[in-house]
Structure 1
Amino acid sequence: MAVAALATAGLLGLLSSCGQSSHSSPAAAGAITAGPGQHQTAGMPGASGLGNTTGAALGASPMPSMTMPMSPSGAGAADAPVSGNAVAIKNFAFSPATLKVKAGTTVTWTNQDGDAHTVTSAGSGGPLHSAALATHATYSYTFTKPGTYAYLCTVHPFMTATVEVT
């Protein structure tokens, strides 16, 4: 931090001593902007907002050929148990993350992502074993016994959820 402050002070001193009128005032010295092909990030002198100076949409992937998971909008909202019989697979997540059903309920998962996903029981011996689900494909399973059934996507193992059967 102290090194950065010294470097900034040295830079400001150089700018104000270069003799050009555009750099002679302290206000102008703080308005440093990125040149062609350079990008500003939040916290850089002259940067504003999130540092998105490229014209790309906020939240856009820095690598257009890759699909990036988006974080849930409400912290903890995805973890609240929900009743019903449908699970959406979207934004690289199962929604709801926890589904509560009664024994005898058939739950249907629908893939709403552009990438394939699976619905597979976590651990060995679980009942959920879908094939890879293409976009708009569905998988259904009827839960007959009470218990908590943890599952994941084997293609993207960070995608996890549970079904609680009473």
Structure 2
Amino acid sequence: MVALSFGFTVAHAQDSNAVVIKNFMFSPMSITVKAGSTVTWKNLDGEPHTVVNDAGLFRSAALDQNDSFQFKFDKAGVYKVFCGIHPNMRETITVQ
């Protein structure tokens, strides 16, 4: 039962616009969501990371391991995201 619940949770997390921060990368590096969707980033690295929109729309505090940050995307568009601590970490969020 636990294995089945875990499998469902992982699939459900992917369906609910989850982004994992691990190995100094956003995964997935590109995601498409519907307008009105909330994206959740979770840091699984042992180092802190931030989630920053290059246009200044949002910026998380430093996320320690297992911390998460959420943002609701109300408007269609392409949003560039990076880590303010490690600017080489980049991601694109496309909102339809």
Q: TM-score, normalised by structure 1?
A: 0.48
Q: If the length of structure 2 is used for normalisation, what is the TM-score?
A: 0.82
How many Å separate the matches in 2 of 1:93 and 1:146?
Answer: 24
The corresponding residue for 2:38 is 106
Distance 2:58 2:23 in 1: 21
Q: Secondary structure at the match of 2:63?
A: coil
Cα RMSD after superposing both structures: 1.4
Question: Which AA in structure 2 matches 1:112?
Answer: L
- The structure, 1 or 2, with the larger RCO (C-alpha pairs under 8 Å, 6+ apart) is 2
Q: Tell me if 1:159 matches 2:89.
A: yes
Letter of the structure 1 residue corresponding to residue 83 of structure 2: C
Deviations 1:93-145 (A, max 9, x none): 000000100000000000000000000011x4x32210000000000000000
Which residue among 109, 113, 116 is the counterpart of 2:48?
116
| 1:95 and 2:27 aligned | yes
Q: Give ranges in structure 2 of 5+ residues lacking alignment.
A: 1-13
Q: Distance in 2 between matches of 1:133 and 1:164?
A: 23
Q: What SS class does the counterpart of residue 132 from structure 1 fall into?
A: coil
Give the letter aligned to residue 163 of structure 1: I
Per the alignment, do residues 110 and 137 of structure 1 end up closer, same or farther by CA in structure 2, a change over 3 Å counting?
same
* 3-state SS of 1:139 partner: strand
Distance 1:102 1:83 in 2: 12
Higher share of residues assigned strand = 2
Q: What corresponds to 1:58 in structure 2?
A: none
